[in-house]
Amino acid sequence: MNQKLLKLENLLRFHTIYRQLHSLCQRRALRQWRHGFSSAYPVWTAQLCAWPWPTDVLNGAALSQYRLLVTKKKK
């Protein structure tokens, strides 16, 4: 049971870290679009950062792990 709880915590940590990195990346891309592309950042980096990852998969995995833990605790 402790291993499953650790897996859930790791999934949630990964999700929050991803959200923070994604928001930083989007801010950088928006800044570049406002001021025009500088030579320091190539165009392809801004395009890669603007693409969102499927967060629904992460949320679904975390929720399914949580449901498993809750049902095992009740039994």
Q: How many distinct structural domains can be found in the chain?
A: 1
The parent domain of residue 56 ranges over 2-74
What pLDDT score was predicted for residue 1? 57
pLDDT along the chain (75 residues), means of 10: 76 79 74 57 49 62 76 69
> What one-character-per-residue DSSP string does the chain give?
-HHHHHHHHHHHHHHHHHHHHHHHHHHHHHHHHHH---TTS-HHHHHHHHSPP-HHHHHHHHHHHHHHHHHHHH-
Distance between CA 23 and CA 17 in Å, rounded?
10
Closest by CA position to 22, among listed 58, 55, 52, 59: 52
pTM of the model: 0.35
Distance between CA 75 and CA 65 in Å, rounded?
16
